[in-house]
A and B are shown apart, each in its own frame.
Chain A
Amino acid sequence: MSGNEKTDGNAVQFAVEGEMTIFRAAELKAAMLPEIARAQEIEVDLSHVTEIDSAGVQLMVAAKLEAILRGKELRFTGHSKPVLDMLDLCDLGGFFGDQIIISSHAS
């Protein structure tokens, strides 16, 4: 989780940086929960995710669910290449319904 956070009234933005894997799953959960609690609209920037595995996918799904259950809106943005690859592999793009920008520069 990065300090790259902005709170703007009812909306919060934060970024997940580094790996989104089993090794950091507990840490990420602990960091994301309060962020979701803070605002009505949550935007999670994934552009700095370097690696993602099943545990990371589960966290994305769980975060989305958490927001839905609390009547909030959570969006993932700026999906990095590993995240896109993963979404493609398990065909979960539709589940999140986020706007995915296919970037021309490979990152």
Chain B
Amino acid sequence: MNLDEALKTFIIESRELLEQMEEALLRIEQEPDDAEVVNAIFRAAHTIKGSAGLFGLEYVVAFTHVAESVLDKVRSGELRVDADLIALLLESRDHIGVLVDHAAEGEEPGDATNQHGGELITRLNAYLGHQAEAKPAGMPVEHEHKFEKEGGGRVATDNWHISLRFGPDLLCNGMDPLAFIRYLETLGEIVNVVTLTEAIPALSEIDPESCYLGFEISFQSNADKAAIEGVFEFVREDSQIAIMPPHSKAYEYLKLIQDLPEQEMRLGEILVKCGTLTRAELENTLREQAQNSEHPPRPIGEVLVEKHIVQATVVEAALEKQKQVKESKSAEASLIRVDAEKLDQLINLVGELTIAGAGASLAAQRSGIPELQEATATMSRLVEEVRDSALTLRMVQIGGTFNRFQRVVRDVSKELGKDIRLEISGAETELDKTVVEKIGDPLTHLVRNSMDHGIEPAEVRVANGKPAHGSLKLNAYHDSGSIVIEVIDDGGGLKKDRILMKAIERGLVQPDANLSDKEIFNLIFEPGFSTADAISNLSGRGVGMDVVKRNIMALRGTVDLDSVEGQGTTVSIRLPLTLAIIDGFLVSVGKSSFVIPLDLVVECIELSDEDRSAAGERNYLSLRGQVLPYLRLRDQFDIEGDRVRRENVVVVQYGNARAGLVVDTLQGEFQTVIKPLGRIFSHINGIGGSTILGSGEVALILDVPRLVQQVSSKGERSMFEA
């Protein structure tokens, strides 16, 4: 691992930690007494500081240190969290984010950033009081010595003892042991350091790029064990590190615990194996724990400490070890970090494989050799499975994106002076990573819009008999090959007649147009509407709803709006699960082939003679008594050639609308890789992309949502006219 890569990892991890920190900070607002959440915030800040120190990012260390000190006071219970403190900590978090961005760019922060940092530090210091300079360096800290029975045999020193033996490859890996020791100084005072030079060979023998160093350090600090251990986070794996807290009962126990082989063991066993406990003591304790069964069983470590059998620090070290073993095991088992580019490459290859596979199947069919056909059939099935699992690799839960809105909602409601709560459901719904990345901006806009213009001020709400606090819901679910994301508010809803009035005024619709409620609501996505000023609850925000719609359409998705005046508005975004590969249904018209996404196909029927002859007068047919508007692809795309004798109708459904697409022949199912069309084709209505058939010919992928929309509005109109 070279330094650049390590830095990249640091940046990625820091951003993740900052996200966790934000989430925890928002959570702590609701549950200020949850120690675990406070710990999570502290750990995030601490880890960022520690890692930043390794890279010599002084500006990150300096600032984060102050924030961490404040968090430490919260953790120890000296400070209570309140709204102001959380706001400050959130700002500090953002500032750390800015500093990390600077680190990513490889530049020092500018004056404005530094000034902002300085202001934050001043405000943070206010929480620290004078504690910071109270303790002159080198003064021994008074510790209360508490002796318990069997507590003898302790090391008398007040200091931590840190024993370090660095691994030989450390230097090659771009790490400098001295940097760790230098960094240790930020946590406390190094009382004494002994550099072990015994392992260093003479110059003629030395491998100058191997690390031979070891250190024994006596260290005075108020930091806790986790903090000190954090310093050595990056070298823990290939070095021997032992950290003994002050007043350790006996150095050897801890050392032994640290040196235990990596395997999961129960705490008691660990302690027995170290000699901290005898087998009899362990059994006694376990028996006692079982007898007190009217209380919920307590962790064995707690029982042992209470009985003064072992010292808390020993237990802590053992637990730490256990946790490390567990953590490293579960992390090994469940997660690998993979470069997103590699995944994209894999998906591309799988795409090509799918096309090649289709070609092979076609050739096999033509050849008429049964063995070959069988082989290609098996292969197609396997390719399909490979494709599906490759695609799931890129699937991520939408929860991460949703959770970011906790902060948006919090900040915007402060800004607007409204009390708005965010509810999240369907967070576990999965969709393609690229889609998730691109949906953030439109969602943010919708959420802000709902909060700003949808949800009324508290007084108005109360007057209308609603709860004073507004509620905003983000919901996601899967529906027929798409994911639906809903932004639901319980605000005032859209005012239909005013929208219509405005639209007529702007020339978007004819005054005599006969529009359904939905069509009227959807008018606000029209470009002319974004700068509307007269309709107060729709006023623009720089970026209009038309941009939201355009962004979503670019993802082959649709956006729909439903609203009940006085009760709220629901915006539904419907998106394809993936952008790369679809199961298609291949049809042809004349010499052209088209692919319809299979998820959207409901059924196929033959176009009856009666409907055929009526074509031209009306473009809908009766499907088991239901009206089904339809569209001739031949007419839609001006395909030459005579009409065939028998035509087929593919019934497609998108959302709630159904339509028929009239084609010449049905070719059957077909896996396709979506290839984007060039820019010059972007104006063609009804085509979403292209793909390559097994024969090498190009087929066009139909943009079914657009066609359905076109057909159903035309169909309705012609029905009214008929």
Q: Name A residues whose Cβ lies closer than 8 Å to a Cβ of B.
A: 22, 25-26, 28-29, 32-33, 36, 53-55, 57-59, 61-63, 65-66, 69, 86, 89-92, 95
12 A-B interface contacts by CB (under 8 A): A22-B209, A26-B209, A33-B204, A53-B178, A54-B170, A58-B200, A61-B197, A62-B202, A63-B203, A66-B204, A92-B197, A95-B197
Among A32, A91, A92, find the residue whose CB has the most chain B CB atoms closer than 10 A: A91
- Known: A22-B209, A29-B206. Is A54-B171 also a contact (CB below 8 A)? yes
- Known: A54-B213, A95-B197. Is A32-B203 also a contact (CB below 8 A)? yes
- 6 further A-B contacts with Cβ under 8 Å, apart from A22-B171, A32-B203, A62-B205, are A25-B208, A26-B208, A54-B171, A61-B200, A62-B208, A92-B197
Is A91 within 8 A of B194, CB to CB?
yes
Is A90 within 8 A of B215, CB to CB?
yes
Is B178 within 8 A of A90, CB to CB?
yes
Is A66 within 8 A of B203, CB to CB?
yes
CA distance A66 to B170 in the complex (A): 24
Closest 4 CB pairs of A and B: A25-B208, A66-B203, A90-B195, A66-B202
> Which residues of A are found within 8 Å of B215, using beta-carbon distances?
90
Q: Which of A25, A61, A90, A91 has a CB less than 8 Å from the CB of B209?
A: A25
> Which residues of B are found within 8 Å of A29, using beta-carbon distances?
203, 206, 208
Is B208 within 8 A of A59, CB to CB?
yes
CA distance A69 to B201 in the complex (A): 11
What is the chain B residue whose CB lies nearest that of A69? Answer: B202
Closest beta carbon of chain B to A95's beta carbon, Å: 6
What is the chain B residue whose CB lies nearest that of A63? Answer: B203
Residue B717 interfacial (CB < 8 Å): no
CA distance A100 to B182 in the complex (A): 21
Is B208 within 8 A of A58, CB to CB?
yes
Is B206 within 8 A of A62, CB to CB?
yes
What is the chain B residue whose CB lies nearest that of A29? Answer: B208
> Which residues of A are found within 8 Å of B201, using beta-carbon distances?
62, 65
> Which residues of A are found within 8 Å of B205, using beta-carbon distances?
62
Taken residue by residue from 283 to 314, chain B's Cβ proximity to chain A (1 for < 8 Å, 0 otherwise) reads as: 00000000000000000000000000000000
Closest beta carbon of chain B to A70's beta carbon, Å: 9
Closest beta carbon of chain A to B478's beta carbon, Å: 53
What is the chain B residue whose CB lies nearest that of A90? Answer: B195
> Which residues of A are found within 8 Å of B200, using beta-carbon distances?
58, 61-62, 65
> Which residues of A are found within 8 Å of B203, using beta-carbon distances?
29, 32-33, 36, 59, 62-63, 65-66
Is B181 within 8 A of A55, CB to CB?
no
Is B202 within 8 A of A54, CB to CB?
no
Taken residue by residue from 177 to 194, chain B's Cβ proximity to chain A (1 for < 8 Å, 0 otherwise) reads as: 111011000000000111
Is B181 within 8 A of A90, CB to CB?
yes
CA distance A85 to B27 in the complex (A): 45
Is A91 within 8 A of B195, CB to CB?
yes
Is A58 within 8 A of B212, CB to CB?
yes
Within 8 A of A (CB), among B150-185: 170-172, 176-179, 181-182
> Which residues of A are found within 8 Å of B206, using beta-carbon distances?
29, 58-59, 62
> Which residues of A are found within 8 Å of B172, using beta-carbon distances?
22
- Known: A26-B209, A58-B208. Is A90-B171 also a contact (CB below 8 A)? no
CA distance A37 to B69 in the complex (A): 54
Q: Which of A28, A53, A55, A65 has a CB less than 8 Å from the CB of B202?
A: A65
Is A57 within 8 A of B178, CB to CB?
yes
CA distance A53 to B209 in the complex (A): 12
> Which residues of A are found within 8 Å of B213, using beta-carbon distances?
54, 57-58
> Which residues of B are found within 8 Å of A92, using beta-carbon distances?
195, 197
What is the chain B residue whose CB lies nearest that of A86? Answer: B178
What is the chain B residue whose CB lies nearest that of A30? Answer: B208
CA distance A81 to B212 in the complex (A): 24
Among A32, A36, A57, A63, find the residue whose CB has the most chain B CB atoms closer than 10 A: A57
